Amino acid sequence: MDHRLYFAVGDLLANIAIGAIVGVICWAIVSPSWNMWIAMFAMMPVGTVVGLILFFPIGIKLGAMEVMSGYLVKNYSEGGAKLLRQPGIVGFLNTRLDKLGEKAQADPSVAAVRKRMGEIEKLTTFPLDKAPSADDVKQLNTLTSDTVKEITKKQTK
């Protein structure tokens, strides 16, 4: 199977996740009393800025992390496992999640993603000269897969 499909799906999931995050941010800013046209034009730049900030780290790193760790679960090597060391990007995403408003922070999906991102950060932060174990790689793969599923699941009220 062509592995580019996984990256295309990862990009799609990243766009869905970013759309959900933008929706939550706009929902936290705009009240029902706003005029629809004003709200739409005021929130379009918000969506653009948030999308630009989040797409590349989420689309490239989280999607790639899932694919790379999935490959390494099946074909473990120390050299390959060292490529999973990405504390900076995970820390960046955690910082962005911390900056969400109270309303967004209270959302169960955001809380679940935040918790998983903390666990992912621990697994991607290791010394340069040390590779994560095969068990750590498997755990990282499970966490990244579960995080993508949480981000993209349909919310019901």
Note whether residue 20 is domain-resident: yes
pLDDT tens-place string over residues 61-116: 556 667 777 778 888 888 888 878 877 777 877 888 888 888 888 888 888 888 88
Residues, the chain? 157
Question: Domain count of the chain?
Answer: 1
Name which of 28, 16, 5 is nearest 100 in CA terms.
Answer: 28
In this prediction, what percent of the chain has a pLDDT beyond 90? 13
Name which of 153, 151, 157, 154 is nearest 21 in CA terms.
Answer: 151
CA atoms of 100 and 73, how far apart (whole Å): 33
Query: What angle is formed at CA 112 by the lines to CA 108 and CA 116, rounded to 5 degrees?
Result: 170
Note whether residue 157 is domain-resident: no
Which tokens is 44 given?
A: 């379009």
Can you give the residue range of the structural domain that contains 70? Answer: 4-152
Would you say the pTM of this structure is higher than 0.75? no
Report CA 120 to chain centroid distance, whole Å: 10
Note whether residue 125 is domain-resident: yes
CA atoms of 130 and 139, how far apart (whole Å): 17
